[in-house]
Amino acid sequence: MLTTDRVKTMSSEPQKDEVPYVTGGHGDGPLYEERIKVHPRIVKGTFRRWKTILLWVFLGVYHFSAWIRWDRGEGAPDQAILFDLSGQRAYIFWIEIWPQEVYYLTGVMILAAIGLFASAAIAGRVWCGFACFQTVWTDLFMMVESLIEGDRNKRMRLDKAPWSINKLFKRGAKHTVWLMISFLFALSFLWYFNDAPTITKAVFAGDIGGWTLATLATLIGITYIMAGFAREQVCFFMCPYGRFQGVMTDEDSLLVTYESWRGEPRAKPGKSKDFSDRGHCVDCSLCVQVCPTGIDIRDGQQMECIGCALCIDACDSVMEKFDLPKKLISYDSYTNMIAREQGKEKQVHLIRPRTLIYAAILSIVAAAMFISLSMRERLEVNILRDRAPLFVTLSDGTIRNGYTFKILNMETVAKKYRLSIEGLDDLTMTVIGQAEKDQKTLDLDAKADRIVSFRIFLKAGKAGLDGRSTDIDFILTDRETGDAHRQTTVFRGP
């Protein structure tokens, strides 16, 4: 026996009738509905203006930040933001991150996640509507599309029109500009991992290959496909944020909301324009036509809504024409919508337990990262003791242990150190590659911004050993400042 569901067709046009859809049995119908292309209408208003401003701000920050210069001294890169994979270093203005400090990346990810949760608790998917890279690039691509092919109706007619010189020219021009934008995006991404002027010259000279060429080509393809073709499908099926956004909002979160108590029953405006016995919604469908995801906000909250608020601009323009109060569609909370329905004053509750918890977490993580960065040492010592063999008994009866002694100098200047040992009185040291003789102390040099490694052998008599394992301290002292760094390890014996 066949089972049939009733679903609404997602379209840029308002859908009044439900379409029967076969979901099982042996019917001839498709199991999934074919995608209907969304052609958003251009709209003017407050939120559209903010979206445009933020679009150019974000694009400007992304494309020009890599060109900011930052003087770090001789031998260091002068690019303000650089993720130097070959040098195993990340530079963000005055901050220099080494591979072993990757935990700072964890802190950044926590801040980003909690910030996203906090924004959702306050204003729903405001991030998706105004700041998400998919939204920004799709917005830019749609601007190019509107500029070349025209507004919504012209684009729809062009889609249905047979191929002609005019259609071929417009489509060719549009895709050419899209590919140019995609190329610029991919090139800009490379700037953050290479010296920007150098990699730009290499790309235009064709002097790249391997992973660099593969990354460039992949990013061009991804941008072109995601912003030019996939668009809202990325938000529907690829981005997980929309799926769990509902658990981060509550009755006081500001969401794009249609006030059905005021708008229903909807109907086309009559000649008299009398709204005394009907709702204020004139069923013009502009809110659907301007939506970049093609949904009807009048059907209530939906996962597909990205909170761009363009439907608010469209609806406000219609309300203004009919001399009706604006905000039939508005950023509003469920609590406040009910209050307005009851004639009470509008109230916005930004400070509540959920937002306070998010603010506290953000503050704690940010403070911890700031304190850690400001107090972190610029010197790190790592000692690896030989395990095979654990020790060697020499011909004179003394015991020898081998160590690999690494110094990480995070300063931009070379440093001179003196190494000494505490824990055994008769202990002597030898450094391979230097004056290979037994000494009580050693002078070691560390190049600027480098890891230097030394092969050190320690010798001691059996009489001074404290069993099979004796604790000893390596003490590395800066010969200029006198600052000492102590590292504990063990000396093994029979």
Torsion of CA 120, 123, 126, 127, to 10 degrees: -30
Annotate 38-70 with b (16+ C-beta within 10 A) or e (fewer): bbbbebebebbeebeebbeebbeebeeebeeee
User: What is the full per-residue pLDDT of the chain (494 aa) written as tens digits?
Assistant: 333 343 333 444 444 444 444 444 455 566 666 778 889 999 999 999 999 999 999 999 999 999 999 887 777 788 999 998 887 888 999 888 888 788 888 899 999 999 999 999 998 889 999 999 999 999 999 999 999 999 999 999 999 999 999 999 999 999 999 999 999 999 999 999 999 999 999 999 988 888 899 999 999 999 999 999 999 899 888 888 877 777 788 888 889 999 888 888 988 887 777 788 888 999 999 999 999 999 999 998 888 899 999 999 999 999 999 989 999 999 888 888 888 777 777 777 888 888 999 999 999 999 998 988 888 878 888 999 988 888 888 888 889 999 999 998 888 788 899 998 888 888 888 888 776 677 788 888 888 878 889 999 999 888 778 778 888 899 999 988 888 889 999 998 87
Q: What is the pLDDT of residue 147?
A: 95
CB 276 within 8 A of CB 323: no
CATH class, 379-492 region: mainly beta
- pLDDT at residue 251, rounded to an integer: 87
What residue ranges do the domains of the chain occupy? 1-36, 38-376, 379-492
* Residue 208 phi, psi (nearest 5): -135, 160
Instruction: Say how many Å lie between the first and final Cα of the chain, rounded.
Output: 83
Structure tokens at 217: 């080509």
With CA atoms as reference, report the closest residue to 431 among 462, 467, 407, 466. 407
- pLDDT value at residue 136: 94
pLDDT reported for residue 223: 95
Please report the pLDDT score of residue 29 as a whole number: 60
Query: What is the amino acid identity at position 26?
Result: H
| 288 Cβ neighbours under 8 A, 6+ residues apart | 12, 13, 14, 294, 295, 296, 297, 311
